[in-house]
Amino acid sequence: MDTSSPTPTTDDRHGTIPAPNPALSDAVAALDAADASVRLRAALALGSTGDPTLLDALVRRCGIEPDFFVRDMLTWALTAYPGQAP
């Protein structure tokens, strides 16, 4: 498995973004599921990884998510990432 560099993907609203870790691609795809409970579990799983390549996917979904509880979990997922040290 080649992990030298992420494969770019296209997002209709934000242009090209790096693809996340291939092992997490199913969870990223689940952010677009029709069932809100699937999206909620995906946001929880992705927020628990700490993988910075997932930030673009989480921010993208947060901007368009219609379900309050999923948006809340996406917000948690984004705030769970460690910040930059001063």
Q: What is the pLDDT of residue 9?
A: 44
Rounded Cα–Cα distance for residues 9 and 47 (Å): 20
Task: Classify domain 21-79 by CATH number.
Answer: 1.25.10.10
Q: What is the pLDDT of residues 11-61, one digit of tens each?
A: 444 444 555 567 788 999 999 999 999 999 999 999 998 888 899 999 999
Q: What is the pLDDT of residues 27-38, one digit of tens each?
A: 999 999 999 999
The structure's pTM equals 0.71
Q: What is the pLDDT of residue 72?
A: 97
The residue extents of the domains of the chain are 21-79
Strand, coil or helix: 39: helix
Tell whether the model's pLDDT for residue 86 goes beyond 70. Answer: no
Q: Is 62 exposed, middle or buried (0-12, 13-18, 19+ CB in 10 A)?
A: middle
Strand, coil or helix: 15: strand
Tell whether the model's pLDDT for residue 1 goes beyond 90. Answer: no
CB 17 within 8 A of CB 11: yes
